C-alpha cells in the first residue's frame, strides 16, 4: 500500500529546513537539448532555474543542444538538475556522460532511464512483473495491418517507441489509417509500437524516492478538450482540466498508486518519476501506459501539481529534488 502522502510532505519541509544551500555548490540546470521536446525542456528548465536562484542557489543554465555536452567538465559544476525531456536527456545518454564525469545529477540512473523511454522494453518488464498494460506489438513497414487490427482491436494507438509528449501519436479508428499512422511514427523513431486503446479516465501518478522507500503522490485526473490529450493540450491549452483530488473513489486512487509504485520499482527508477495510467471505463481496471523519468516542470506540469496537493510548493519541490544529489552516490 502507498505510504501516507502527508509524511512525504512533512519530511520534505524538515529536510529543507536543515539544508545548507552552500553545500549544493555550483549547479548546472540542463535544458533544451536535441529532442523533439526541446521547447518544453526550455520551459521546464527556465522554471527550475528561476526557482533555484530564488532559493539562493548558485545555478546556471546549460543547453546541450547548443553546446557540446563535454563542455560540462569545463563548467566545474558540483551537481546538475536534469530538465531535459526525450532523447539525449531522458534516455540514459546524458546520465552516462554524467557518470563518467562523476557529476551528481537528479533523477534515475542510466539503466532505468534507458528502459523507461523505450515503451516496448518498459512493457516487457511490466508484464514480466505481472503489471497491467494494454496489449501491444511492434510495427514494421511489412506488418499485416488487418492482423494488427484483429489482435489489438479498434480503435488502437500507434506511436514512436522512444518519444514522449504524444509526439507522432495517432488514434487509429480503421485499418485504412494504419499505414499513415505508422509512417508518421516511423519518421520520428526506428521503433514503432501499436497498442490497444483503453477508453476511460486518463490519470497520472507522480512518484518520489528510491526502491522500497519510494512513495506515490496524489493521483491526478486529466480531462482534455474532445478527450484529446495531444502536445498542444498538454502544454499550451487552458481548456485541459486537471483534478487533484480526482473525485474518484478512494479505492480506485489507491489501486492506481499501488500499480504506479510497482511500475516505478520494476524499472529501477529513482528520485522521481511519473506513471501515466488509463482507467478502463468498462472494467474499472487501471492500465499502465508509460513511465516518465524526467517529468515536465512547466506551468502545466503534473508533478508540481501533485506535490502541491501534498503540501509542497514548486520551488521547494525543485530544491528538494536537487538536494537528493547530496545523499545519492553517482552510479547508484
Residue range 34-63, pLDDT digits in tens: 998 999 999 999 999 999 999 999 999 999
Q: Are 243 and 220 in contact (CB under 8 A)?
A: yes
Q: Residue 1 — very low, low, confident or very high, per pLDDT cuts 50/70/90? A: very low
pLDDT at 331: 59
112 Cβ contact list (under 8 Å, min separation 6): 267, 268, 269, 270, 293
Angle of helix 119-128 relative to helix 250-267, nearest 10 degrees, comes to 110
| Selected catalytic residue, list 41, 83, 162, 292 | 292
The pLDDT tens digits of the residues spanning 134-168 come to 999 999 999 999 999 999 999 999 999 998 767 89
Angle of helix 5-18 relative to helix 314-323, nearest 10 degrees, comes to 70
| Selected catalytic residue, list 210, 215, 290, 316 | 290
265 tagged catalytic: no
pLDDT at 332: 57
26 tagged catalytic: no
Number of residues assigned to the chain: 332
Distance in angstroms (rounded) separating the CA atoms of residues 189 and 144 = 20
| Selected catalytic residue, list 47, 274, 301, 323 | 274
144 tagged catalytic: no
Main-chain phi, psi angles of 120, to 5 degrees: -75, -50
90 Cβ contact list (under 8 Å, min separation 6): 35, 82, 84, 113, 116, 117, 164, 292, 293, 294
* Residue 60 three-state SS: strand
State the cell numbers at 290.
Answer: 508509460
274 tagged catalytic: yes
Distance in angstroms (rounded) separating the CA atoms of residues 138 and 143 = 9
The pLDDT tens digits of the residues spanning 74-96 come to 999 999 999 999 999 999 999 99
Distance in angstroms (rounded) separating the CA atoms of residues 25 and 77 = 8
State the cell numbers at 250.
Answer: 478512494
296 tagged catalytic: yes
63 tagged catalytic: no
| Selected catalytic residue, list 37, 63, 91, 177 | 37
Would you list the DSSP string of 102-119?
T--BSS--HHHHHHHH-H
Torsion, Cα of 318, 320, 326, 329 (10° steps) = -80
Amino acid at each position: 500500500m502507498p505510504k501516507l502522502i502527508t509524511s512525504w510532505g512533512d519530511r520534505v519541509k524538515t529536510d529543507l529546513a536543515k539544508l545548507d544551500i552552500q553545500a549544493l555548490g555550483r549547479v548546472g540546470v540542463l535544458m533544451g537539448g536535441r529532442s523533439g521536446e526541446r521547447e518544453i525542456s526550455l520551459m521546464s528548465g527556465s522554471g527550475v532555474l528561476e526557482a533555484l536562484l530564488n532559493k539562493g542557489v548558485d545555478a546556471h543554465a546549460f543547453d546541450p543542444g547548443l553546446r557540446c555536452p563535454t563542455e560540462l567538465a569545463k563548467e566545474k559544476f558540483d551537481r546538475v538538475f536534469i530538465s531535459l525531456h526525450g532523447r539525449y536527456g531522458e534516455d540514459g545518454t546524458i546520465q552516462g556522460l554524467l557518470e563518467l564525469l562523476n557529476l551528481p545529477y537528479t533523477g534515475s540512473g542510466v539503466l532505468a532511464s534507458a528502459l523507461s523511454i523505450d515503451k516496448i522494453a518498459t512493457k516487457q518488464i511490466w508484464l514480466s512483473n505481472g503489471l497491467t498494460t494494454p496489449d501491444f506489438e511492434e510495427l514494421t513497414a511489412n506488418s499485416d495491418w488487418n492482423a494488427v487490427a484483429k489482435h489489438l482491436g479498434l480503435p488502437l494507438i500507434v506511436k514512436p517507441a522512444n518519444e514522449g509528449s504524444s509526439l507522432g501519436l495517432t488514434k487509429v479508428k480503421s485499418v485504412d489509417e494504419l499505414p499513415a499512422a505508422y509512417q508518421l511514427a516511423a519518421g520520428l523513431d526506428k521503433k514503432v509500437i501499436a497498442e490497444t486503446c483503453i477508453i476511460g479516465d486518463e490519470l497520472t501518478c507522480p512518484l518520489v524516492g528510491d526502491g522500497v522507500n519510494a512513495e506515490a503522490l496524489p493521483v491526478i485526473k486529466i480531462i482534455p478538450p474532445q478527450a484529446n490529450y495531444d502536445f498542444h493540450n498538454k502544454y499550451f491549452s487552458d481548456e485541459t482540466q486537471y483534478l487533484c483530488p480526482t473525485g474518484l473513489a478512494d479505492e480506485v486512487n489507491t489501486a492506481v498508486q499501488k500499480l504506479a509504485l510497482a511500475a516505478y520499482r520494476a524499472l529501477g527508477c529513482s528520485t522521481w518519476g511519473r506513471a501515466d495510467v488509463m482507467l478502463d471505463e468498462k472494467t474499472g481496471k487501471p492500465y499502465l501506459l508509460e513511465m516518465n523519468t524526467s517529468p515536465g516542470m512547466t506551468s502545466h506540469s503534473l508533478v508540481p501539481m501533485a506535490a502541491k496537493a501534498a503540501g509542497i510548493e514548486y520551488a521547494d519541490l525543485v530544491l528538494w529534488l536537487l538536494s537528493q544529489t547530496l545523499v545519492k552516490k553517482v552510479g547508484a
